[in-house]
């Protein structure tokens, strides 16, 4: 049987891995946001151009948000950070899967699903971190 200190340590390691994976998710999505911007500038001026630039901006903001939470809150195994990144990143990736992958605009491959795959890994490690911390009776201020 593990001691409380061992459970706390294992939970913190898992939380740090989860936080790092959210940073990786954000980095992937900053690259994707740049790709959307590059696509946008190939369009003639008009609403399509503007909407693509807005999509690029929105994705970059979500990416930076997930990275900031991953570094500041998920890394420390914070309960609020856990839930915020879990939900916000899921919603962003769900939109990609439903609106881009399912209609077939990109092929289903590890490359096209890298973001959702990294998200699932981040969610798993962050959840393990929270569960171990809860099991050890370790509570952070949230």
Contact 43, 52 (CB under 8 A): yes
Ramachandran category for residue 44: left, alpha or beta (phi over 0 → left; psi -120 to 50 → alpha): beta
> How does 39-60 read in b/e, with b if 16+ C-beta sit within 10 Å?
ebeeeeeeeeeeebbebbeebb
Instruction: Report helix, strand or coil for 64.
Output: helix
Instruction: Report helix, strand or coil for 77.
Output: coil
Give pLDDT tens digits for 52-81: 999 999 999 999 999 999 999 999 999 999
User: What pLDDT, on a 0 to 100 scale, did the predictor assign at position 133?
Assistant: 74
The pTM of the full predicted model, rounded to 2 decimals, is 0.86
Spans of all domains in the chain: 9-131
Give pLDDT tens digits for 89-104: 999 999 999 999 999 9
């Amino acid at each position: 049987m593990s001691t409380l200190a061992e459970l706390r340590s294992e939970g913190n390691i898992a939380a740090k891995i989860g936080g790092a994976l959210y940073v990786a998710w954000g980095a992937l999505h900053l690259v994707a946001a740049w790709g959307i911007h590059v696509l946008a500038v190939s369009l003639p001026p008009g609403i399509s151009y503007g909407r693509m630039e807005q999509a690029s901006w929105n994705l970059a903001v979500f990416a930076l948000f997930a990275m900031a939470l991953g570094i500041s809150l998920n890394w420390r195994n914070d309960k609020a950070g856990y839930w915020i990144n879990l939900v916000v990143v899921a919603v962003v990736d769900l939109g990609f899967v439903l609106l881009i992958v399912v209609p077939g605009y990109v092929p289903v491959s590890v490359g096209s699903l890298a973001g959702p795959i990294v998200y699932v890994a981040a969610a798993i490690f962050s959840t393990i971190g929270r569960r171990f911390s809860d099991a050890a009776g370790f509570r952070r201020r949230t």
